[in-house]
A and B are shown apart, each in its own frame.
Chain A
């Protein structure tokens, strides 16, 4: 069974540009999460999809971040326009809908550098 995949693995963009990150969850996982780790800090939650619906987006930093999960399969996270403080590693995770243990499986992450 394929794990969570993310694309690209690295992205270097200039301040003011736009970047779109993609996540493909484990097949059959209804829950999809985005997290971010900035340098020196802990991994922090951004938002959570259940199928195609946003269940919780309380961790989204501001309206420059837009996440979608059309069709309830893969998800995209767009940052527009990017700022220096958006640099970090963006992780996607997925879990089964009825997993009472809330065990989440992570992708390899996308390292975003804004210069």
Chain B
């Protein structure tokens, strides 16, 4: 059974701080997706990383895929209160297969 371990589970920081969320697995994925979910809404796709070692940036968010395509990280620089939410990583197989989700990281950024 493929599993994705996501850490930390909860993170409470002050505005302006940096943070990193980790997503680890013993399995290799074709791609890895990061989602953000707000209360009462569904997960919203932020980015997909495909190539081992790939780094993608989305404003203050930096996503990295491990060389072996088993792990990924999300780094947020100078966190803002608007970054508050649940961040989910999901491992994907080939096209048309189910996603394997981590449990998520609940981020709270206070001003």
- Return chain B residues, CB-CB under 8 Å to A42: 4, 101-104
- CB of B64 within 8 A of chain A? no
Given known contacts A91-B43, A106-B42, A108-B41, is B101 in contact with A48 (CB within 8 Å)?
A: no
- The number of residues on chain A lying at the interface, defined by a beta carbon within 8 Å of a beta carbon of chain B, is 32
- Taking a contact as CB atoms under 8 Å apart, the answer to whether A43 and B96 are in contact is no
Among the 9-residue stretches A63-71, A80-88, A97-105, the one with 4 or more Cβ atoms under 8 Å from chain B is A97-105
- Taking a contact as CB atoms under 8 Å apart, the answer to whether A102 and B103 are in contact is no
B84-111 Cβ-contact flags toward A at 8 Å (1 or 0): 0000101011111111111110000000
- Return chain A residues, CB-CB under 8 Å to B82: none
Closest chain-A Cβ to B32's Cβ sits at a distance in Å of 10
- Taking a contact as CB atoms under 8 Å apart, the answer to whether A33 and B98 are in contact is yes
Alpha-carbon gap, A106 to B38, bound state (A): 12
Closest chain-A Cβ to B58's Cβ sits at a distance in Å of 15
- Taking a contact as CB atoms under 8 Å apart, the answer to whether B98 and A45 are in contact is yes
- Taking a contact as CB atoms under 8 Å apart, the answer to whether B88 and A43 are in contact is yes
Q: Which of A35, A44, A103 contacts B48 (CB 8 A)?
A: A103
Please list the residues of chain A having a beta carbon within 8 angstroms of any beta carbon in chain B.
4, 6, 9, 31, 33, 35, 41-45, 48, 50, 55-56, 59, 91, 93, 95, 97-109
